[in-house]
Amino acid sequence: MNEDEVVQTIKQLLENNDIQLEYATEEQEATSLSASGLSSLAWLRLMIDLENTFQIELDLQQSESYSAPTLQQLVQYVASEIGKQ
């Protein structure tokens, strides 16, 4: 799966949680997921959705300390986990 497919899939999962985010360009400032209105419960649901969708296991301890990533950071994190398979 390439990065564009990861971006589109994650954006769809976010939209399922009523979160609309765009992938910021270098000139734009990226918005964190928490600043966009993603609650802690929605974050946990998103983590589960990511694991199920991409068939990966995310480190929840790492994700708790990483609870306010931007879309770009989340894509990089998921892509790195996919790459480990």
What pLDDT is stored for residue 66 in this prediction?
Answer: 60
Average pLDDT, the chain: 81
Could you tell me the pTM of the whole model? 0.78
Which H helix or E strand runs over 23?
none
pLDDT over 60 at 64, yes or no: no
Give me the residue label for tokens 């564009």. 4
Between residues 49 and 61, the one the model is more confident about: 49
Query: Domain residue spans in the chain?
Result: 3-12+32-83
Rounded-to-integer distance, Cα 72 and Cα 20, Å: 14
For residue 63, name the pLDDT band (cuts at 50, 70, 90).
low
pLDDT over 80 at 22, yes or no: no
Q: Taking the CB of residue 71, how many other CB atoms lie within 10 A of it?
A: 21
Distance of CA 40 to the CA centre of its chain: 13
